[in-house]
Structure 1
Amino acid sequence: MQSLRSLGLSAAIASLLVAPAAFAQDTGDSASGKRFSVVGSATILQPDSDPLPGSRIDADGDVAPTLSATYHVNDNIGVELWGAADKFNHRVRGDAGKIGTVDSQPIALSGQYHFGDADNTFRPFVGLGYHQTNISDEDIATADGSHVGLTSPKGAIGTVGVDVNITPTWFARADARYLDGDADAKLAGQTVERDVRFNPWTVGVGVGARF
């Protein structure tokens, strides 16, 4: 688990270091002449279906808007900042039904590789980076009424997707992401469970523009 988090952090740092150097070395690498793109999507986020093995507790997924902004070193390599524009709300369920709710809001920095030429109709891409998912508004019932808190999961994020060019400026996007990262559970401020599996995957569809 730690190696995956270290790999994601290393990829994000490497992306930031490589991008300015590549731009300074060869400003003519981008045949399209477009250096930036932004995308707005509707995204489903589904946490791990078994966050506490053996506990029979589950958390439902939710839909929220996400935004991304990418700096394109050239037509194939980019550095993307992606995150949720609003919180995902998750219903937490046990054997007896709903036991509470919790919100999550991820943000991530990734290096990406886009396959093919900039004017291809279909352009698949892959990405690897580092994310932090902010957990808030935990409202989970306990026998004595103590507050249950969760720390923010952090770790590697992997992305696969495809852009469909509509015009030289506008495109449609579909993507899927996996966010590796666990949380610690705290009861009345004291850690009671480590490595609660969050590890969500996301699926998003949206519209973007290049300029």
Structure 2
Amino acid sequence: MMRFSHLTLAMLATLAAAPAAFAQDTGTTESASGKRFAVVGGYALSEPTSNPSIAGTRTHVDGDGAATLSASWYITDNIAVEAWGAADKFGHRVKTANGKVASVDSQPYAVSGQYHFFSADNILRPFVGLGYFEANTDGEQAEPTGALAGQHIGVETAKGAMATAGVDVNINPTWFARADVRYLQDTTGQPNVAVDGVNVGKAELNPVVLGVGIGARF
């Protein structure tokens, strides 16, 4: 939760600074309207909202941070199709009441449709979206001294729906700051967790991903 608090502060600082930067550039005659492509580079924290049971034992899965990238095609000034994903892997520690038992990496990517409110040149542009995600899982490793020591762990790919809400803050007609939150809900019956080839539970994580970034449109 501390990492989420730090990122929230960073989001607020970015949103507070951007309108001042925009105000210094109001002399331009260029417009953001009609620009059909945008790219955003940022950083996000992924925090699971569910903790799975493995072999009847309740676990706690830690969140982590990673760089993210997105590219959007604006069909109109208000309607866009976005491809989004983690540029690096989120590393998760799996713990029980007796301590850490395993670790696993996940790398989500998604495609979604979005609606951006207000005109393209409005300083604040909230948006919402809905789409489909997959989260590749690898790097599964048991702790050498934990309850799963010496055993092989496998976790299937999570797939499902992703809901997005966020806001863009126009700095000038080309550059903007972004803050967003994404909820990834596995809708395929939850990926299986296997230990030595035997299914022992479901990896129901359904993370919330909180991100900030800087984008450019052209």
Question: Does TM, scored on the shorter chain, surpass 0.5?
Answer: yes
Query: Which residue number corresponds to residue 93 of structure 2?
Result: 91
Query: Which residue number corresponds to residue 159 of structure 1?
Result: 164
Q: CA RMSD in A?
A: 1.8
- Give a deviation string over 1:133-166, Cα, whole Å, max 9, x none: 0010001244562201100000000000000000
How many correspondences in the alignment? 181
Query: Which residue number corresponds to residue 146 of structure 1?
Result: 151
Answer yes or no: is the 8 Å Cα contact 1:38–1:68 preserved in 2. yes
Q: Distance in 2 between matches of 1:143 and 1:162?
A: 43
The residue type equivalent to 1:198 in the other structure is L
Deviation at 1:99, TM superposition (A): 1.3
Query: Which residue number corresponds to residue 47 of structure 2?
Result: 46
SS at the partner of 1:180? strand
- Give a deviation string over 1:92-134, Cα, whole Å, max 9, x none: 1111111121100000000000000000000000000000000
| Structure 2 counterpart of 1:119, from 118, 121, 140 | 121
The residue type equivalent to 1:205 in the other structure is V
- Give a deviation string over 1:7-50, Cα, whole Å, max 9, x none: xxxxxxxxxxxxxxxxxxxxxxx981200000011100012342
Q: Distance in 1 between matches of 2:177 and 2:44?
A: 14
Deviation at 1:190, TM superposition (A): 2.7
- Give a deviation string over 1:60-87, Cα, whole Å, max 9, x none: 1101000000000000000000000000
| Structure 2 alignment gaps of length 5 or more | 1-30
When normalised by structure 2's length, the TM-score is 0.79
Answer yes or no: is the 8 Å Cα contact 2:101–2:148 preserved in 1. no
Answer yes or no: is the 8 Å Cα contact 1:101–1:138 preserved in 2. yes
Answer yes or no: is the 8 Å Cα contact 2:177–2:214 preserved in 1. yes
Q: Distance in 1 between matches of 2:37 and 2:149?
A: 52
Q: Distance in 1 between matches of 2:77 and 2:97?
A: 51
The residue type equivalent to 1:67 in the other structure is L
Q: Distance in 2 between matches of 1:58 and 1:189?
A: 22
1:184 aligns with 2:197: no
Moved more, 136-145 or 81-90: 136-145
Q: Matches of residues 55-70 of structure 1 in structure 2 within 5 Å?
A: 55-70=57-72
1:173 aligns with 2:184: no
| Structure 1 alignment gaps of length 5 or more | 1-29
Q: Distance in 2 between matches of 1:204 and 1:65?
A: 9
Q: Distance in 1 between matches of 2:155 and 2:208?
A: 19
Q: Distance in 1 between matches of 2:149 and 2:51?
A: 24
Q: Distance in 2 between matches of 1:204 and 1:186?
A: 31
Query: Which residue number corresponds to residue 206 of structure 1?
Result: 213
Query: Which residue number corresponds to residue 27 of structure 1?
Result: none
Q: Distance in 2 between matches of 1:107 and 1:69?
A: 12
Query: Which residue number corresponds to residue 197 of structure 1?
Result: 204
When normalised by structure 1's length, the TM-score is 0.81
Change (3 A) 1:95 1:176: same
Deviation at 1:179, TM superposition (A): 0.4
SS at the partner of 1:171? strand
